[in-house]
Structure 1
């Protein structure tokens, strides 16, 4: 028997209500057990050095080409703020906006079909488009507003660190390779010898909205005024 999308979403609403109650009443021991089972062997993360970024958008173009991202949507954005200071000594600040690959991802928690999931082998927050019904619950739940509905597949999409297009081939994400100033560093948080870990130890960094408890894995090295001059 076929079920309409409206009927499906109606049933999902009831399911989520039950899931929310379950999440409130379950024991801390159960939560810790589940967390231990979900611990990935690798924790891929990225650092965006705002001092090195010049806002050229090469990362956006590379991502679009490699991952076949259509016009009108984007997996990666570079936000520019400023100018700061007086002409001619003016400076701008550039910040990367993309999936944070949260260890406690709200999008995964609310997905009714399991289409949004955390890859146990890499820690990457991914999307199984075959299971996605386009309900947009993940989009509403994401506090970073980095998910969107793909205009062609009508399923949720976002940055996945080029998991299928490049990581599977042993290559770095397209944005990292394309950056002309090496403002992006990608690596494994569990490897103390990785360039990413060494960079995080050498320079102060921050993450967005950590107060929400999402444990994001996109780190930012904050702009020092006067570093980027245009």
Structure 2
């Protein structure tokens, strides 16, 4: 089964908020609401009793994790929240009654009620783009190549982002560049399985992954 997701190399993320801003613009997310929010983790002591400058921190982008067994789908009384064959979790607005059961069930607090439309919204993983072979907007706009998109079933080393312009032949248009791809396994600094993390799992099996090599992961996992 396909399970689309995003992998983020947290040591390449500088907290520039480009992914967050691009997401709001591309999806017309209302002021005060977010489909993708970048959190600062830390500063935390590098060892027990440590004080500045022996501290560390990293930035953690958090949005819908498009879980393999999503709690939001289980509690939806109308079937508006559903999991598709590509692994993404989507909301059928024509069925949503705005009860917000899904928002209360989400372990990550990434759903909100659109007050104007009276329906719940969240990250769609840019379904309209990936259906046409494009990448999610947050991946497109990540200048540090920290965010990568792909199918977990094919291994995160095969996740993709747009290639860097400097690595392409000159004279290419923006459209040509968008057709190019860089592969995570060929691009990022080496990592092993113990350095790949997910947000806390409460039985929902979050699909997104985070790579962290030189810092201490602060999230607890089952």
For the superposition of Structure 1 and Structure 2, which TM-score range results when normalised by the shorter chain? 0.7 to 0.9
Of Structure 1 and Structure 2, which has the larger fraction of its residues in helix? 1
TM-superposed deviation, 1:202: 4.2
Tell me if structure 1 keeps the 8 A contact 2:3–2:68: no
Look up the SS of the partner of 1:46 in the other structure. Answer: strand
Aligned to 1:29: none
Which structure has the larger Rg over C-alpha atoms?
Answer: 1
Aligned to 1:183: 146
Structure 1's unaligned 5+ residue stretches are 1-39
Tell me if structure 1 keeps the 8 A contact 2:19–2:138: yes
Structure 2's unaligned 5+ residue stretches are 45-50, 161-183, 217-222
Tell me if structure 1 keeps the 8 A contact 2:79–2:95: yes
Rounded Cα–Cα distance in structure 1 between residues aligned with 2:89 and 2:151: 15
Rounded Cα–Cα distance in structure 1 between residues aligned with 2:56 and 2:69: 35
Of Structure 1 and Structure 2, which has the larger fraction of its residues in strand? 2
Aligned to 2:40: 80
Does residue 199 of structure 2 align to residue 208 of structure 1?
A: yes
Look up the SS of the partner of 2:197 in the other structure. Answer: coil
Q: RMSD in angstroms over aligned alpha carbons?
A: 2.2
TM-superposed deviation, 1:194: 1.9
Aligned to 1:171: 134
Closer, same or farther: CA 190–225 of 1 in aligned 2, 3 Å: closer
Aligned to 1:143: 107
Look up the SS of the partner of 1:169 in the other structure. Answer: coil
Closer, same or farther: CA 191–225 of 1 in aligned 2, 3 Å: closer
TM-superposed deviation, 1:224: 1.9
> Please, which of 77, 90, 105 is the counterpart of residue 70 of structure 2?
105
**Following superposition, which runs of at least 4 residues in structure 1 exceed 4 angstroms of deviation?**
196-199
Look up the SS of the partner of 1:144 in the other structure. Answer: coil
The total of aligned residue pairs comes to 181
Aligned to 1:49: 9
Rounded Cα–Cα distance in structure 2 between residues aligned with 1:202 and 1:188: 19
Note the alpha carbon deviations across 1:179-207, whole angstroms, 9 max, x for none.
Answer: 010111110122247236847x9432111
Rounded Cα–Cα distance in structure 2 between residues aligned with 1:151 and 1:143: 22
Tell me if structure 1 keeps the 8 A contact 2:82–2:90: yes
